[in-house]
Amino acid sequence: MSDSGRSGGPDALVASLFRHESGRLVAALTRLFGPHNLQLAEDVVQEALETALQAWKFGLPDNPRAWLSRVARNRALDVIRRGTVERRFAEDYRDQLASEWSRATTVEESLAESSTAENQLRMMLTVCQPQLSEETQVTLILKFLCGFASGEIAAAYLTTEETIDKRLQRGRSVLRQAGALSPAAFAGSEDSRLGAVLRALYLLFNEGYHGSHPSMPTRVVLCEEAIRLCAFLTEGVDSASPQAHALMALMCFHFSRVPGRVDSEGIYLPLAQQDRAVWDRPLMARGLAHLNEAARGSQLSALHLEAGIACQHCLAPSLAATDWNAILGLYDLLYERNPSPVIAINRALARAFAGDPQGALSEAVELAQEPALARYPFYWAARGEIHARANQREEAHVCYQRAASLARNPAEELAFRRNAAAHEEPQQTPS
Amino acid sequence: MAKFIYVFRGGAFLEKGLSASAMQDHLKLWGAWMGELAKQGHKPAGEAVHEGGRTIRGKNKVVNDGPYAELKDLVTGNLAIEAASLDEAARLAMGCPIYIYDGSVEVRPVAQMG
């Protein structure tokens, strides 16, 4: 408690409160103002946050979110009152906002906590317009739903602020054509709008999890945002499709293994050396619950298969005790659906672990013909592992070195070099 | 212990277009500074003020909208603290995060009544 009698210092805030509140309020106001007035919604939210920055210096209000909602409500009502004549608000709210009678309750309803999930979902559907590239969709999500500034997005994606601003500009111009936020009612789980959102969240997660940032092997915040936003889908009535649950399961399984993925210097550890005791068990349990939900219905999507593979890794008490045959079976199904060389090399690796290193080796060697894999460091690392499993230490060493030479960042390179070194010495005969 | 008033001018509040994260990070620094003052027994008690307001001045009580100051001189809050001396109060004010955004702190001794 601070002496001002309010409830604790700003340390008591959730670290992402401002960002998340920005996302919550921008969606709530864009629902009313319409996507063509996105900038107006952003301005109102920015002012509300600036007001909080000033007012909360000496202590926090009891309920910071409600406080922000109130400030945003008052500003929004001002804006609407002044603009009813010359501005056109969202198609589905024009009448309610024009009438003095219903204006305040309409604004309050949209800003209420109980509307948050629907607003966020509608905003995600709206920014994932089919005419926008996937990277632009992800950029818009980071900006409008996660509350990141252009510079922050640029830093996360190792690109320039200018590139991000261009994407945002393109996004804004497409959004200006939409008269209202996309509705949250779906034409069944095959609704392509839902698929677009799932794909964007999948990309966002992967950028955090498998990204190529030089100094940060895992950008935890990107993974966390993807999981947080996916929860709006899986907790929705219409949006909780089996695929949404499968994506959520996949992300929970992957993310639960982040602790232990690198050593104290941030270098990737081979799966065999990872300490499974530090994996996040509650998150795995959450993943399992979503995998169960994903199994309802008759769909078996690529997401289901990927989640199934990640699940096998999570459940295994050790590398040796992993059910490699189950993983191999899932890779077979995945490859049937999407015969890509990347899936093929992963399948070969699973085959090697499942006890058939010779079969795996002939597959892996054949894949060297694939142009997509020639400069792909993980192909060479996987092939190194397969050679090692087939007791070809010298070849393993050469492949790991090749992987190191193609690594995208120093942490990756060092991890591959360690593997190369581990296979350098001729195998000692046990005495 | 003597009483002092910090008068804050300028600072992050007047910086437009800060990102949500930057705002929260800055607020965290204020919290840390305030927390430290409280922990050391300086009993900080402050109030922030918003932009705008009115100024009344002169024999004729002329009323003007808003303060007159230039933006960087705009009063953005004040804080009462207890310290052993002006030197100590000024030293404590060094820890304020307001300087990051070009603000200032004026340290004034409170006139003692007794």
B100 touches chain A (CB under 8 A): no
Q: Which of residues 16-55 of B touch A (CB under 8 A)?
A: 16-24, 26-28, 30-32, 34-35, 38, 43-48, 50
Chain pair A-B, CB pairs under 8 angstroms: 96
Report the C-alpha gap between B108 and A388 in whole angstroms.
Answer: 74
Residue type, A10: P
Helix residue ranges per DSSP H, A258-301: 281-294
Kindly report the number of other CB atoms within 10 A of residue A121's CB atom: 25
Q: For chain B, what are the domain ranges? A: 2-109
Q: Where are the beta strands (DSSP E) in chain B?
A: 2-9, 45-48, 54-57, 62-65, 75-83, 104-109
Query: Which residue in B has a C-alpha nearest to residue A151's C-alpha?
Result: B19
* Residue B13 sits at the chain A interface (C-beta within 8 Å): yes
Q: Tell me which fold the domain B2-109 belongs to.
A: Alpha-Beta Plaits (3.30.70)
Among A53, A145, A221, A224, the strongest candidate for a mutation testing the B interface, having the largest count of B CBs within 10 A, is A53
* CB-nearest partner of B31 from A11, A19, A148: A11
- A2 in contact with B at a CB cutoff of 8 Å? yes
Mean pLDDT, chain B, integer: 92
Chain A residues 92-151 within an 8 A CB cutoff of chain B: 147-149, 151
| Predicted confidence pLDDT, tens digits, chain A (431 residues) | 333 334 455 556 778 999 999 999 999 999 999 999 999 999 999 999 999 999 999 988 999 999 999 999 999 999 998 876 567 888 888 888 888 889 999 999 999 999 999 999 999 999 999 999 999 999 999 999 999 999 999 988 888 999 999 999 999 999 999 889 998 877 665 678 999 999 999 999 999 998 767 777 788 999 999 999 999 999 988 889 999 999 999 999 999 999 888 888 888 888 888 999 999 999 999 999 999 999 988 888 999 999 999 999 999 999 989 999 999 999 999 999 999 999 999 999 999 999 999 999 999 999 999 888 988 999 999 999 999 999 999 999 999 999 999 998 888 899 999 999 998 865 555 54
What pLDDT is recorded for position A95?
85
- CA-to-CA separations, A1 to A10, A61, A252, B48, in angstroms, rounded: 11, 11, 36, 18
How many CB atoms neighbour CB A95 within 10 A?
Answer: 11
Question: Does the distance separating the beta carbons of B27 and A53 come in below 8 Å?
Answer: yes
Neighbour tally for A42: CB within 10 Å: 17
The neighbouring-strand residues paired with B55 are: B64
Distance from CA of A212 to the nearest CA of B (A): 23
> What is the residue extent of each domain of chain A?
334-431
CA distance B20 to chain A (A): 5
User: For domain A334-431, is the CATH number 1.25.40.10?
Assistant: yes
**Can you give the pLDDT at residue A5?**
38
Residues in chain A with CB shorter than 8 Å from the CB of B45 are 3-4, 58
